[in-house]
Amino acid sequence: MSIQKSATRILILAKSKLITFYIMIEDKPLVKIIQKYIPIFLAFLLIVYICVSLYNSNINIFTKDLIAPLIIFFTKSFLIAPYFLLSSSIRFHLIKSLLGYNTSFYKSLKSVLISSSLDAFTPAKINDFARVKNESKSKIVILSVVLERIIDFSILVSIFLFTSTSTLIIRKIIFPVFIILLLIIGLTKYKFLYLKKILKILSCIQLTYYHWFIAYQIFKSSFSVFIKASQITNHAYYINFIQFPKFVFMTIISTLPISAGGIGIREASSITIFSEIDSSIVLTSTICYGIAVSGSLTFIGLAYVNINKFILENKSGRTS
């Protein structure tokens, strides 16, 4: 009991010190300059991240056989990115409501967009805690993010343990059920509150599953581009090695909080996991997958942050 009291006192003291420090530096000119140009600096870092990733590739991607397929691949990935943002926003919104924090969906979407602007620069999805900046109840938001990570990890481990037949059954049977669940949640506003909570939990699980399944399809497409370009005679044989459980195992390893956006860990682990395929193809495909997913989310997040900031600055300029 005394240890708990001491820990609580330490946390309260630390919080008060942080608030005092923030108030002290808030009006400093240097801090204001940093706050103003951080989004632009992050945009520059994103470009550096993409250039370094491509430079580390062992395959020359600027060949006639690769340029067109890669443009198509990155375009498709960029068009899929809004789905990731929307599904993450819906899940975040549902978890907040389960914890008793009811806000508009737009607020949840805005929080996810802000955190996505840091996706490529932080390890183990720590960027999701940046949602606190846009929300009033920070404790609930932090708990929501922690619950999201628990759901992610649980679903990934479950997929890894299940066979490919089991995941096929999940896709074929649960998808229609998922649509029905969302309709029931929308139609029952005040009735069957306990049922609504159960439906929200099931919806969060289903959204998580489809998030990772679509990510796997992008990962597999990346391999398909490079295997076909390498002019291997039986490319379908090698693509069959890109299995969902293997992708999930690689994803679990890449979530370790060691490197920004899982860069390095993902590539190193993928070479071992997909050892049946040439290591240069594995490395380049995994790098392009990282750019396609993390890069797209970061780009959209940064675009939103910069556009929103520009609009706010124009409004404040007109009022003054």
pLDDT tens digit sequence for 261-295: 556 678 778 888 898 888 888 888 888 898 889 88
Q: Please name the amino acid found at residue 12.
A: I
Q: What is the mean pLDDT of the chain?
A: 76
Torsion of CA 10, 11, 13, 14, to 10 degrees: 110
Comparing 122 with 261, the larger pLDDT belongs to 122
pLDDT at 131 over 70: yes
Comparing 60 with 80, the larger pLDDT belongs to 80
What pLDDT is stored for residue 143 in this prediction?
Answer: 92
Comparing 234 with 223, the larger pLDDT belongs to 223
User: Is 137 within 8 Å of 101 (Cβ atoms)?
Assistant: yes
User: Which CA distances in Å does 284 have to 101, 198, 226, 280?
Assistant: 43, 42, 8, 6
Least trusted range by pLDDT, from 13-17, 79-83, 202-206: 13-17
What pLDDT is stored for residue 221 in this prediction?
Answer: 93
Mean pLDDT over 26-38 rounds to 51
What pLDDT is stored for residue 178 in this prediction?
Answer: 59
pLDDT at 192 over 70: no
Query: What percent of the chain is predicted at pLDDT more than 70?
Result: 63
User: Which CA distances in Å does 136 have to 21, 103, 107, 140, 294?
Assistant: 20, 10, 11, 9, 27
pLDDT at 239 over 90: no
Confidence band for 25, pLDDT divided at 50, 70 and 90: very low
Q: Please report, in angstroms and rounded to a whole number, the separation of the first and last CA atoms in the chain.
A: 55
Least trusted range by pLDDT, from 29-38, 55-64, 122-131, 289-298: 29-38
Burial of 36 (0-12, 13-18, 19+ CB in 10 A): exposed
The rounded distance, in Å, linking the Cα atoms of 89 and 112 is 6
pLDDT at 232 over 50: yes
The rounded distance, in Å, linking the Cα atoms of 303 and 235 is 38
Most confident region among 4-8, 114-118, 178-182 by mean pLDDT = 114-118
Look up residue 58 and give its DSSP letter. S
Residue the block writes with tokens 């969302």: 182
Least trusted range by pLDDT, from 70-84, 163-177, 179-193, 276-290: 163-177
pTM: 0.73
Confidence band for 145, pLDDT divided at 50, 70 and 90: very high
